[in-house]
Amino acid sequence: MGDGRTTYLLIDGENIDATLGGSILGRRPRPEERPRWERLLQFAEERWGQPASGLFFLAANNELPMPFVQALLAMGFRPIPLTGGPNEKVVDIAIQRTLVELRHHEADVVLVSNDGDFVEQAADLLDGRRLGLMGFAEFRNSAFADLTERGLEFFDLEYDVAAFNSPLPRVRIIPIDEFDPAQFL
C-alpha cells in the first residue's frame, strides 16, 4: 500500500456532532444517527491508497467517557481526551497544535471538521502533501474554499464517505446527473 506514507485523520468530534445535531437534525443525535467512524478510516485508506491513523480529539472535562473511548480503540482510533480551563476550546487548540507538528512529518492529512479555526494551519500543510477536509459541504467554513484552489480536497461525510446508515434530512444543491426524483416522492 502506498509509498510508506501515512494519512493522519484528525477528528473534531464535537464539531461534527454539533453540526449534525444543531444544524441538520435540530436535536441531539441518537447513537444510530451518528457517523460510523470506522468508515472514515476505511475511506481515507482506500482514497489515497495508504494506511490511515485516526486521532479522535474529545473534550473530557475531567471525565473519561470509557464506553466511547473503548469503542474508538476497538475501531482503530487513538482517542485524545482533553481538559482545560472553562473558556478554553481544548479540542481546537489540540488540533491546531497537531496540524503545526505535522509539518515536520512526511504524512498526508484529512481534517474532519467544518470549523474555520483550522484554516491557517491547514493552509500551511499545502506544501506538496495531500490534504483533505471531511465534513458537511453546506456547513463547511467558507474560508476553506480558497484552499481548494491550492489542492485541498473536500469529502462529504454522507455523500462521499457514506458514514451514515440512513439518509440525513439535508437540503443541498443537487447536480442534475445525481437527481433521482424517487427520493422526493
Look at residue 123 in the predicted model and tell me its pLDDT.
96
| 107-112 and 131-135 beta bridge pairing | parallel
Task: Tell me the three state secondary structure of residue 153.
Answer: strand
Q: How far apart are CA 82 and CA 157, in angstroms?
A: 24
Give the residue ranges of the chain where pLDDT is below 50: 1-2
Q: How far apart are CA 69 and CA 100, in angstroms?
A: 25
The CATH number for 133's domain is 3.40.50.1010
Look at residue 1 in the predicted model and tell me its pLDDT.
43
Look at residue 64 in the predicted model and tell me its pLDDT.
86
Q: Domain containing 62: what range?
A: 6-184
Return the residue matching grid coordinates 461525510.
157
Q: How far apart are CA 126 and CA 148, in angstroms?
A: 10
Has residue 119 been placed in a domain? yes
Return the residue matching grid coordinates 475531567.
62
Entry pTM:
0.91
Q: How far apart are CA 156 and CA 133, in angstroms?
A: 8
According to DSSP, the residues that pair with 134 across neighbouring strands are: 112, 155
Has residue 91 been placed in a domain? yes
Look at residue 86 in the predicted model and tell me its pLDDT.
87
Has residue 1 been placed in a domain? no
Count structural domains, the chain: 1
Query: What b/e sequence results for 89-112 when a residue is b if at least 16 CB atoms lie within 10 Å of its CB, and e otherwise?
Result: ebbbebbbebbeebeeeebbbbbb
Has residue 177 been placed in a domain? yes
Q: Which residues contact 82 (CB under 8 A, 6 or more apart)?
A: 57, 58, 59, 60, 90, 91, 93, 94
Look at residue 3 in the predicted model and tell me its pLDDT.
66
